[in-house]
Amino acid sequence: MNSVSLIPYAPLPCTTGARVIFLKHLHFLNKQGRCTVASARQLPVGGGWGADIVQDLKGQGFELVFRNKWGGSSFPYVIGMLYACFFKILKQEKAFGHSNLYHRYAFPSDWWYEQTVNKDIAEIHYSYWSRLPCACPKVVVLHDMWSDLMWEGVRRESAELALADLIVTVSIEDRDKLIQRGMKNVHWSPPRVKPLECADASEVCVVASGNHHNVEGLEWLKSSTEKMPTQVHCYGSISDYVGDDDRFLSEGNYAASSEPYEKCGIVLMLTSSGTGVQIKGVEALAHGRVIIARKGAMRGLPSGEIGWVEVDSPDEMVDVLKKAYRDRQYREKMSLASKEYYKKYLESEVVDRRLLEKYRELL
C-alpha cells in the first residue's frame, strides 16, 4: 500500500492526544508499505519540525513532504492569519470550527492533489481539510467534531465530510452522530495502546496536560470536603496547577508513557468537558488499573460494559478512592474489569486488523 497522510504539525514528541492518534495511523500505514507524511514547516499550522524530528521519522522509513506554497502575499493565507490573530486576541476559541479561515486555507488544493497522485490511500487528519480533492481514495481521520464545541454548526461539516470515501472516528459517539446524519462510510477506530501487566499498587494518580479542561477537573476535585486517604500524584503539565495543596504531589513530566500506571494502581479521571476520547483513559484500561471517573470523563468509549467506576461529585470520588486505597480485593476486582473491557473493545491488534480491513475495501 502506497499512502500519504496529511497532518498539521510534527507528531513527535508524543505529548498530546492528537500526536498519539497521528502516530497510530502513521505507524499503521508504514506497516502496510510506503508512507509519505505531508505537513507544513511554518504558519499557518505547521510547527515542531526540527531537524531531529525529521531525521527520526526518516529513520523509521517515512518519506516527508512539506507545503511549498507559503508566501506572505498569498491572499487566503493572509486572511487566515488575520482571522486567527483577531479571534485569539478576543480569546474566542469557538471561532475555530470546521471552516475557520486559518485552518481551511492552510494547505492549497493543488499542492495536496499532487501529493495524492499515484497513491493508493490519502489520509487527512481533522475535518478542516476534508474538502480537499484526492487522486485516490480519501480517508478523513476525525479527531473531534468541531460542531459540538464551536459556533459554526453542522451543515458544512457534514457536507464536506461526506466527500470522503471513509471517515475514521476516534470517538464512538462521533461515529453514531455521523450515522444519524445519514453517512454510511464511517468506522470507529479508538486510540491504540498496547497492554501491560502491572503489579498491584495502592498509589493514586492523575495524568493530564495543563489545558483548561484538565485544570477545571483538578479544581473540581480540590473542592472536595472529604479527607483524602493518601496524596495524589499529578503527572504531566497538570502538575503545574497543584499549588500549595498538600493533598497533591507534583510529579511533572515523565519519560515513558507507562510510568504513571506502573507506579500507581488507581487512576482518577477528572475531565468531563471537551470532545473526542481522553487517551489517558485508554492507557489506564490497557494497564489494567482501577479507574475512578467523573461523569463524562470516559466519553467516546462504549458504555455497555463498564470497566471503571463513574461518580457525580468530588466527594463521591474521594469516597470510592478510600475503598480502593484500603481494599486490595476491590482493586483486583476493578483491575480485572479494566482488563476485560480493554480486551473486548480496545485490544491493539484487533484495532489494527479492523482498520486494515476497511482500508483494503477501499482498494
Q: Which CATH superfamily is domain 204-345 in?
A: Glycogen Phosphorylase B; (3.40.50.2000)
| pTM beyond cutoff 0.75 | yes
Asked: is 3-191+348-362 a CATH 3.40.50.2000 domain? The reply is yes
pLDDT tens readout for residues 304-321: 778 999 999 999 999 999
What span, in angstroms and rounded, lies between the C-alpha atoms of 105 and 80?
7
What span, in angstroms and rounded, lies between the C-alpha atoms of 221 and 199?
27
Q: What is the pLDDT of residue 273?
A: 81
Taking CB atoms within 8 Å and a gap of at least 24, the contacts of 122-126 are 122/3, 122/4, 122/6, 123/3, 123/4, 123/5, 123/6, 123/25, 123/29, 124/5, 124/6, 124/164, 125/5, 125/6, 125/7, 125/8, 125/21, 125/22, 125/25, 126/8
* Assigned C-alpha cell, 281: 483513559
Assess whether pLDDT exceeds 70 at residue 265: yes
Number of separate helices (H) and strands (E) present in the chain: 13, 13
* Assigned C-alpha cell, 310: 463513574
* φ and ψ of 300, to 5 deg: 85, -5
* φ and ψ of 89, to 5 deg: -60, -40
Which residue ranges make up each domain of the chain?
A: 3-191+348-362, 204-345
Q: How far is CA 182 from CA 127, 158, 159, 179, in A?
A: 17, 9, 11, 5
3-191+348-362 matches 204-345 in fold: yes
pLDDT tens readout for residues 211-220: 889 999 999 9
Total count of residues recorded for the chain: 363
pLDDT tens readout for residues 274-305: 777 889 999 999 999 999 999 999 999 998 77
